[in-house]
Structure 1
Amino acid sequence: MAHVVTAFLRSRGAVLLVKRSDTASTYPGRWAGVSGYVEDDPDDSLDDARREVREETGIEAAALTLVRRGDPVRVDDAEGSFTVHPVLFDCATRAVDPSEELAATEWVQPTAMLARETVPRLWDAYRAVGPTPETVAADRTHGSAFVSVRALEALRDEAAALALADGSWDDLADTARRLRDARPGMTVLATRVNRVLAEAAATPTAVRDRAVDAVAAAVDADDRAASEAAALLSECDDGTDSAVLTLSRSGTVAETLDRLDGPVFVAESVPGGEGRDVAASLAADGRAVTLVPDAAVASLLATGRVDAAVVGADAVFPDGSVANKVGTRGLALAAAREGVPVYAVTARDKVAPTDAFHPERADFDGPEGVATYAPLFDRAPAEAVTVVTEDGVLDAAAVRETAAVHRAQAEWDRAVDGDDGKE
């Protein structure tokens, strides 16, 4: 039996499908992931996957970030017997230079493969590596904007699978609840899932189609928020590039910083220390970057070397206060003391419907017999932070109005279940 690796490349919620040439030895003219034979150990096929991606698409390994390897998928038909080893990469580029083995390439929502003539069990191979409620709940590496898009993808894929199998609305609603509740501290995740269920008719097909649109809208909102923030931070009054301080890891903040050229100060962001990775990434891109211990943030702000601070947000509450990685409150209060503006750059979907705050507990152990206080998130007061979204600066009235809309969208669950949990 032949062992084959199939690599799915993901970019902005879409995956790359390739059409095999009419002269391919197997499955000519069919759509597939980037595939090829495993040359060495089938249990260690990542090098094979990266090689096939480079040879077939011209995309180098440096542009690929491993997301997940899936359980093998068995294929037996007239073309032969194959064990397919699926793998999912996040891809930093959509520029494809196809080899002569490919007749066409296209970036599509994964559900599009269900309407195409594909190699056998391509959808099953994708599902083996695609996001699920479990992977969404387990992600402690990425920011809430990233995780919320993965949740929408998981909802989209499950809705597509249920539509294909003529599955029930109840099963889909249960998946939506699991996704919505997977990370209680991530308001944007619940907001985006709730919106899909509130706006779609009560069928898996309708949810699938609405989730496809929601993935694209979510990515676009984060990009636009980054552009709005970059415009505010672009330069100082004297025309020089602003020096910016940031804390923790936020995909939207990273997009903002990519649009700026000035020096960056990065707080270490303990616990977790993800600020170190942020600083290393900026330095690798040739940026002037300085890593700052969390305890030195207030001291740095007092030196006058920082023109503005920019942070992400896990939630913006109806009163305008902002929840983010612990340390944000201290940064915001110290910056206010020194007259340094603080911008929380975030999609509007992170406005919470209520005042409920779920700070979570960091992994922090003290000596035996010593109690610890280690929240993972804290809350910066509204007067110390300016909220910047895809619609520009969000004032207090706009925050309250948005919170009311999000409360109304959360009512889909009550409308489906009723007070007794049944329709």
Structure 2
Amino acid sequence: MTHVVTCFVRNRGRVLLVRRSDSVGTFPGRWAGVSGYVEGDPAAAEDDARRELREEVRLGDGDVELVRVGAPLDVTGADGEFTVHPFLFEAETRETVTNEEISEAEWTDPTAIFERETVPELWETWRRVAPSLPTVREDRTHGSAWIAARALETLRDDAAESDDWESVARTARKLRDARPNMAAVSNRVNRAMATADRTPDSVRERCIALLRESLDATDAAAETAAERLAAREATTLATLSRSGTVRATVVESDPEAVVVAESRPDCEGVGVAEWVAAETDADAALTTEAAIPAALSEFDADAAVVGADAVLSDGRVVNKTGTTALALAAREADIPIYAVAARDKVRPAGDSWEAEETTRTDAVYDGEEAVSVFAPTFEATPAGLVDAVVTEAGLEDAEDVRRIAEEHAENAAWDESGP
């Protein structure tokens, strides 16, 4: 059986679909992902996938990041039998240059596959690499905004292939409850269900719209924070953890230096510091949580910026452990600390929060003595230690946060029966 690759490239929730031209030998005129033959060992099909991206749409290795490799599937069509190797890449750009094998290219929602004449089993191929409940529940690499986007995509795809409202509702409940510390996940799922008609197609449409809105909200929050930092003439920032919103703020504010705490127990701050060094013009400095006070002085920090996995209705900011230490150090150094987050990270009114149990004990102590370890990933930093919560709407005060929390509680009421 002939082995081929199919590459889906995603950018801001949309994927690149291409129409095969009359110059190709199989399935001319059909819509597909970027596709091509496996020329070597099928076990090394990623090399072929990257080659096809370079040749057909001129996306090089520096333009895309591999997200997932799907299980191969056997496909039979009028033009032969094929084993398809699916790939999902994330792209930083939508700028493409197509070759003679492609007659059209369009960035669109993946569910548009249902509306087009495609190569055989294209939807099933997409589902092999598409986000899913395990993506939302198990990801420990990305921040909550990224994971919330994957939750909306999962709900969208489930609704697209379902004709049963209750089955979509069951998926929504599972997604809503998958990451209890990440308010954006449950809030966005709840909004999709609360504002849709009780039909799968309406849920699909709401997910598509909310995905775009949520990505825009993250950008707007980062822009607002950058404006605030510019007004203070801040050139050296301190931060910790992996917030995508904070990364966007760093890009927008263009500081001269960024001081990053390592973020125990998972040490995501190491990757953040590497990102600063590799992807921005700022000098990157890595420190430990224990050394944060000294680091603020050593590098003459002007402001501290953190993300938020959630903002509680009383104004407390739930974020990576170490945030409170950074806030206290910032107060002592007389510099502001801002929590940058979209409004969907405010938890609904009446919703409680409890610190999760320590899971990475071996990262702190792996000896043989009877030593208990307390090393939670998240903590709630008191509202009084944070100068402002910065969202897409601007600087939110305590009353603003309470009002947003009430709106989220209303959306959560779509499922009065509970999970």
**Normalised TM-score (structure 1):** 0.94
Q: Distance in 2 between matches of 1:266 and 1:373?
A: 22
Partner of 1:230: 226
Q: Distance in 1 between matches of 2:371 and 2:132?
A: 38
- AA matched with 1:375: P
Q: Distance in 2 between matches of 1:104 and 1:18?
A: 6
4+ residue stretches of structure 1 with deviation over 4 A? none
1:276-305 CA-to-partner distances (Å, cap 9, x unmatched) read 111111111332111112111022234570
Q: Alignment identity in percent?
A: 51
SS for the counterpart of 1:318 is coil
Residue 383 (structure 1) shift: 1.4
| 1:192 has 2:188 as partner | yes
Residue 138 (structure 1) shift: 1.0
Partner of 2:320: 325
Deviates more, 1:149-158 or 1:258-267: 258-267
Partner of 1:121: 121
Q: Distance in 2 between matches of 1:304 and 1:267?
A: 13
SS for the counterpart of 1:36 is strand
**Normalised TM-score (structure 2):** 0.95
Partner of 1:346: 341
Which residues of 2 match residues 12-27 of structure 1 at below 5 A? 12-27=12-27
Q: For the aligned residues, what is the CA RMSD? A: 1.4
Partner of 1:363: 360
Which residues of 2 match residues 18-417 of structure 1 at below 5 A? 18-162=18-162, 166=163, 168-234=164-230, 236=232, 241-262=234-255, 263-285=257-279, 286-303=281-298, 305-353=300-348, 354-360=350-356, 361-365=358-362, 366=365, 367=367, 368-385=369-386, 386-414=388-416, 417=417
In 2, are the aligned partners of 1:235 and 1:242 still within 8 Å (CA)?
Answer: no
Residue 174 (structure 1) shift: 0.8
Residue 77 (structure 1) shift: 2.2
SS for the counterpart of 2:361 is coil
Deviates more, 1:296-305 or 1:345-354: 296-305
Residue 236 (structure 1) shift: 4.0
SS for the counterpart of 1:16 is strand
Q: Distance in 1 between matches of 2:83 and 2:295?
A: 57
In 2, are the aligned partners of 1:271 and 1:362 still within 8 Å (CA)?
Answer: no
Aligned CA distance change for structure 1 residues 26 and 269 (closer, same or farther; 3 Å): same
SS for the counterpart of 2:190 is helix
Q: Distance in 1 between matches of 2:65 and 2:299?
A: 38
Q: Distance in 1 between matches of 2:158 and 2:85?
A: 21
In 2, are the aligned partners of 1:133 and 1:154 still within 8 Å (CA)?
Answer: yes
- AA matched with 1:379: A
Q: Distance in 2 between matches of 1:76 and 1:261?
A: 52
1:52-77 CA-to-partner distances (Å, cap 9, x unmatched) read 00100101012221111112222112
Instruction: Flag structure 1 segments of 5+ consecutive residues without an equivalent.
Output: none
Q: Distance in 2 between matches of 1:257 and 1:294?
A: 20
Instruction: Flag structure 2 segments of 5+ consecutive residues without an equivalent.
Output: none
1:367-406 CA-to-partner distances (Å, cap 9, x unmatched) read 4311111111011111111100000101111100000010
Aligned CA distance change for structure 1 residues 8 and 17 (closer, same or farther; 3 Å): same
Q: Distance in 2 between matches of 1:183 and 1:410?
A: 15
Q: Distance in 2 between matches of 1:207 and 1:261?
A: 39
SS for the counterpart of 1:411 is helix
SS for the counterpart of 1:219 is helix
SS for the counterpart of 2:17 is strand
